[in-house]
Chain A
């Protein structure tokens, strides 16, 4: 392509550029979608339009894995490489795709297809997961490889279960709950109730509900709101963090796809409580269906007067901007997400100052996870007492758990806090898939920790898990049976962090890489006597000294495995045959 058709995108560029630098990611998405990659001349046009130095625009393109600076194939296939998908054979699929004669193109870029190894795609319950042109494809449904190029496919359905359906009452129906359907089931009642209270009272109720963040850090939501509400500045922001990318997590995707109004209502209440006029809904770049459904729902809410100026004649005004991520796990970190919205590389910021005083665009900001916000309308509409009638005293309410790996029914399960791990795995998810005994459970995702079968009776609450040294994290439960090679599982986790480290601080930039190199060797059974102490120094250094939560938890799962199964990291173990493969 020598002459680019710049004119066709020029209008879009000049229109969107009015927003300034914050339009950078949306503009790069436009260019990527339009040309299939981001040509240099287009990057230059964008840079000029938003008045950002060329080198910085390049830096942003280079940071996000969904942006390409050189031409790629028309059909891009992403094959997930993380534990749940690898166990289901994603590696063979990747190899087969690459060996496929018709996909080869004499060593050059095949204009037809580009095959990429991807980090967790949030489709763990459909393992092995693939995205084709951004749309999920269930490889089990494939009759022939040529079907990859056929565009229309049904959206895969997630198994939805559990003991209670509070957060998920409108989910799993094979459709996006539209505004009418949402209103029929009591939608926006919580928001109307909030409007009848003063903002301080709303915050008080959220505090009393005992709700803590569901993104992984478990920070008390009401306290966060109070911080921003008390900040003196006039302009404040409310951000919804839909950048779900923790390996093994897909709960937010289900909520965003099936019941986006629940989250929008949560955002409205939060914005009202803290006094924010503007909100951002940041959705993971790989979640195209979520993105589409949230756009549709926001439009419906706007048309019906739930968003915009003087909402429901209350004098309160609030609107939501939607942003797509572009392939960077670290942008789930709150300050990295702000940087991304501001049109920069997703580097986490040094804290303090904290977002409640210096957040998005330097203004007081509350950022909450999707599931956290989904709890808000429920708290307001059913009242604190009813809300706290399930769960435990310290962990009230319900929680979504993402079950994947070797269980019969991988899927999303909503349970009251306090049920046991055994209950979720055996009763809800149907127990072990191939009747092999349980070997290990990864709790909390890649940033989580390993549990063993002796811990099955731990109750799923923040307090009980903490006692067992297990983080609840984002609600990931990945199950491994006895045939699985845990070294291979840990290798994939180390690979994930080495790929996703942003590179800002040295402990994480270097530590994730060194950790991965050692795990590569260990997975090949080439163990050195110093491996355990080397890994321990790396892990302690990352945990103690990294700048953000990514680095601080990047060694957590491997560290927990060293404590539980030191023999995995030494030569002493009798060489038993594992079913799992090796990979680099």
Chain B
């Protein structure tokens, strides 16, 4: 079956499988469209909109991570209109979250000429760091709400369903059921969420303690003790019958 379509990407004519997304089609001819929330092993949700492209005839810009190619489509991946959206989104992200440990995002910001202080008087999201278990810490000041952790915790990988959202809009935060500590949730500490987190909002506790300047034997001591403490504590169930 040769289900191919012909389209133009940045004025270059290409033939490709009709099941490809614009992002994949562009990549196949060496055109790199930037992405943030997209991850090869997660369901694409078109959240960050960094991958938007201009498709001739479309009213709005189109997210290339989910939009499929079609016959006769004319795509521009890096024109002025597209770059304006990308730059503005990056500037708004810089004024929202702590991206200091996200080198890829910082590089993208400089590539698009994003001004770090564009929205200087913005109310940043700065919730306190959550340190409620011996395995990893959650520092949602760094979270950009890419949803990857929620997805791998659910149907994209682990089926643990430990985390979801609290609040909505700008004030959304990843959270357990009634904001319980992770050990009281259905978290199995598989670490998949840490693996996909793009901003170090989720990180292994030992790495975090190292960054804080502790020596390795201190860290072993601290995390071990904590683990022992945890197992001694009786598990409480909150179901009222």
Do residues A534 and B118 form an inter-chain contact, with CB atoms below 8 A? yes
Closest to B119 in A: A514
Q: How far is the CA of A471 from the CA of B168 in the complex (A)?
A: 28
A63-B165 in contact given A521-B121, A540-B85 (Cβ < 8 Å): yes
Smallest distance from the beta carbon of A118 to chain B beta carbons, Å? 15
Q: How far is the CA of A499 from the CA of B171 in the complex (A)?
A: 9
Do residues A507 and B178 form an inter-chain contact, with CB atoms below 8 A? no
> Residue A350 at the B interface, CB < 8 A?
yes
Do residues B49 and A506 form an inter-chain contact, with CB atoms below 8 A? yes
Smallest distance from the beta carbon of A27 to chain B beta carbons, Å? 16
Smallest distance from the beta carbon of A291 to chain B beta carbons, Å? 23
Q: How far is the CA of A505 from the CA of B44 in the complex (A)?
A: 12
Chain B interfacial residues counted at CB < 8 A? 53
> Residue A389 at the B interface, CB < 8 A?
no
Q: How far is the CA of A45 from the CA of B241 in the complex (A)?
A: 10
Do residues B168 and A503 form an inter-chain contact, with CB atoms below 8 A? yes
Q: How far is the CA of A498 from the CA of B185 in the complex (A)?
A: 31
Q: How far is the CA of A69 from the CA of B178 in the complex (A)?
A: 8
**Binary CB contact string for chain B from 161 to 182 against chain A (1 if under 8 A, 0 otherwise):** 1111111111110011110000
Total of A-B residue pairs, C-beta within 8 Å: 161
**Binary CB contact string for chain A from 463 to 479 against chain B (1 if under 8 A, 0 otherwise):** 00000000000000000
Chain A residues within an 8 Å CB radius of B166: 58-59, 62
Among B81, B169, B186, the most chain A Cβ lie within 10 Å of the Cβ of B169
A58-B240 in contact given A510-B170, A514-B95 (Cβ < 8 Å): no
> Residue B145 at the A interface, CB < 8 A?
yes
Do residues B168 and A501 form an inter-chain contact, with CB atoms below 8 A? yes
Chain B residues within an 8 Å CB radius of A393: none
Residue in contact with B161 in the complex, picked from A55, A63, A547, CB distance below 8 Å: A55
Chain B residues within an 8 Å CB radius of A382: none
Closest to A53 in B: B161
Smallest distance from the beta carbon of A139 to chain B beta carbons, Å? 29
> Residue B39 at the A interface, CB < 8 A?
no
Smallest distance from the beta carbon of B75 to chain A beta carbons, Å? 15
A62-B167 in contact given A510-B96, A540-B85, A544-B85 (Cβ < 8 Å): yes
Do residues A545 and B168 form an inter-chain contact, with CB atoms below 8 A? no
17 A–B contacts from the bound complex (CB under 8 Å) = A54-B185, A54-B186, A55-B175, A55-B177, A58-B166, A498-B170, A505-B49, A506-B93, A509-B169, A510-B96, A513-B96, A517-B122, A540-B85, A541-B89, A544-B60, A544-B84, A546-B60
- Chain A interface residues (CB < 8 Å from chain B): 3-4, 6, 40-41, 43-45, 53-59, 62-63, 69, 328, 345, 350, 498-507, 509-514, 517, 521, 534, 537-538, 540-541, 543-547, 552
Q: How far is the CA of A59 from the CA of B49 in the complex (A)?
A: 23
Do residues A499 and B118 form an inter-chain contact, with CB atoms below 8 A? no
Do residues B121 and A547 form an inter-chain contact, with CB atoms below 8 A? no
Do residues B169 and A6 form an inter-chain contact, with CB atoms below 8 A? no
Q: How far is the CA of A541 from the CA of B49 in the complex (A)?
A: 10
**Binary CB contact string for chain B from 58 to 75 against chain A (1 if under 8 A, 0 otherwise):** 001101001000000000
Closest to A64 in B: B168
Chain B residues within an 8 Å CB radius of A502: 168-169
Chain B residues within an 8 Å CB radius of A510: 89, 92-93, 96, 170
Q: How far is the CA of A62 from the CA of B164 in the complex (A)?
A: 10
**Binary CB contact string for chain B from 204 to 241 against chain A (1 if under 8 A, 0 otherwise):** 00000000000000000000000000000000001111
Closest to B163 in A: A55
Smallest distance from the beta carbon of A376 to chain B beta carbons, Å? 28
Residue in contact with B92 in the complex, picked from A3, A56, A500, A506, CB distance below 8 Å: A506
Chain A residues within an 8 Å CB radius of B45: 350, 504
Chain B residues within an 8 Å CB radius of A59: 164-166, 175
Chain B residues within an 8 Å CB radius of A62: 165-168, 175
Residue in contact with B177 in the complex, picked from A4, A58, A541, A543, CB distance below 8 Å: A58
Q: How far is the CA of A49 from the CA of B31 in the complex (A)?
A: 50
> Residue B48 at the A interface, CB < 8 A?
yes
Smallest distance from the beta carbon of A477 to chain B beta carbons, Å? 26
